[in-house]
Amino acid sequence: MDEHMMYEEVKRVLDSEVLVTARLVESVTKVAQMSSFTHPELDALFLQWLSLVAGQVQRVASEGQEISIPSAAQEIGISPSAFLAILLHLQRQGKLSVDSVTIGQGTGRNEDLCDCLGDRT
């Protein structure tokens, strides 16, 4: 490998590390911002909400039944991303088992952010 190619490879690796570092800093900043909202009463309310929504997810996701995540999420009133996260939460608790998933085309946007957090122009 000649000197120029080696330089380009090192530069590519460093550029990649810069992007990873920026993403990590962004994530840590978001966690720090969100931690300012923690309060025992809010934690209790969240756990109550999670329990209620998890019950709805279990009702919709009957054993042996194939379900459409977007349709089931809409029926409950949560995002498909939240529905899937709660399914996985229930699986970790041993309350159900997710046996297959069908992968489709993505939307091209971060589905964990609600529209209320988007740019307001």
Using one digit for the tens of pLDDT, what is the confidence trace for 47-90?
Answer: 899 999 999 999 998 888 899 999 999 999 988 888 998 999 99
One-letter amino acid at 118 equals: G
Does a structural domain hold residue 118? Answer: no
Q: Answer yes or no: do 53 and 80 share one domain.
A: yes
Q: How many CB atoms lie within 10 A of CB 57?
A: 24
C-alpha–C-alpha distance, residues 69 and 102, integer Å: 10
Average pLDDT, whole number, for the chain? Answer: 82
Does a structural domain hold residue 39? Answer: no
pLDDT at 55: 95
Helices (H), 36-79: 40-60, 69-76
Does a structural domain hold residue 10? Answer: yes
Q: How many CB atoms lie within 10 A of CB 111?
A: 13
Total domains in the fold of the chain = 2
Q: Answer yes or no: do 20 and 53 share one domain.
A: no
pLDDT at 103: 87
Does a structural domain hold residue 82? Answer: yes
Given pLDDT bands bounded at 50, 70 and 90, which one contains residue 120? Answer: very low
Residues spanned by the domain of 6: 1-30
Does a structural domain hold residue 36? Answer: no
Assessment of whether the complete model's pTM goes beyond 0.85: no
